[in-house]
Amino acid sequence: MAITKDIKYQIERLGGWQEVTVQVPFVLCGGWSGRSQDKVKEHIDELVNLGVPAPTETPILFSITNDMITTTHHIEVQGKETSGEVEFVLINIGGEWFVTVGSDQTDREAEVHYIEKSKQLCQKITGQVLWPLDEVKGHWDSLHLTAWVTKDGERTLYQDEDLTALITYQTLLDLVGRKVPHLPPEVAIFSGTIPSKTGLIFADLFEMELKDPVLGRSITHRYSIRSLNAVLGL
C-alpha cells in the first residue's frame, strides 16, 4: 500500500467553491514536454552546453517522492543554485481530474551530474486552488502560464507562454498511461515547463500564474526560497 500525503485544496467550480483534502500517493514530473520538438531540441542543446546530459527520449517522466509536493509559501533548499519552473499540474481526486499551477524547483548544480536526483532535492510547489479539467479542456490552448522571479529586490518576468508551448493534458496522460500502466489514478503530474526569457535565475522569490482568459479567472501562487548553504556560508 502506498504511503499518502494529505494536502488541502480549494476546488473552484463554475458553480461554487469546495474545500477538499487530497491524498497524493505518487508524484510524477514531466521533462522536455514542449509541443514543438524543434524547440525541445534547441533547449536540449542549450543544456548540453551547460553540462547537462541530453535525455534518451522526449518527453520524459521522473518519479518524485510524495513528501516533496507542497502548497507552502516558503521552501528551504540546500544548494545555492536552484530555480523554479512554471508548469501546469494535473491532480486526480476520486477519479476526476483537476488542473492547477505548479513549479518544479530544481537544483541546477546537481542537474549536471544526475537529472533525476536533482529533481528530488527540491520541493514541488503547487497552487492552492484546483479547476476541474472538464471546465477548461475545451479551450485548453487558451490557458496561459506566467512566472516572475525576484532576485536581490529586482522583479523580472521569467516565463510567459500559453499552453500551445507544451504537450496537451491528454498527451501527458497518455504518456503516463504508457510508461506506468499500473499506476493508480490518484496521482499528481507536473507537465514540464515553458522556455525562460532570461536564462536561469537563482531567485529569492518565485511567483506563478495559470490564467484562463475564456472564463476570466486565474490561479496564482508565490513562494520564497532560502538556500541553507548561502545563509550558513557553506
Q: What is the pLDDT of residues 28-80, one digit of tens each?
A: 999 889 898 777 777 777 677 777 777 778 899 999 999 999 999 999 999 99
Distance CA 59, CA 199 (A): 21
Quick check: is 147 in a domain? yes
pTM > 0.85: yes or no: yes
Q: Which three cell numbers stand for residue 21?
A: 483534502
The region that residue 233 occupies, defined by phi over 0 for left and psi between -120 and 50 for alpha, beta otherwise, is left
Quick check: is 91 in a domain? yes
Q: What is the pLDDT of residues 129-143, one digit of tens each?
A: 999 999 999 999 999
Q: Which three cell numbers stand for residue 56?
A: 534518451
Distance CA 115, CA 61 (A): 11
Quick check: is 172 in a domain? yes
Range of the domain at 19: 5-30+60-232
CATH code for position 80: 3.90.850.10
The closest alpha carbon to 166, from 122, 210, 215, belongs to: 210
Quick check: is 166 in a domain? yes
Q: What is the pLDDT of residues 154-212, one digit of tens each?
A: 999 999 999 999 999 999 999 999 999 999 888 999 999 998 999 899 999 999 999 99
Query: Considering its fold, how many domains does the chain have in total?
Result: 1
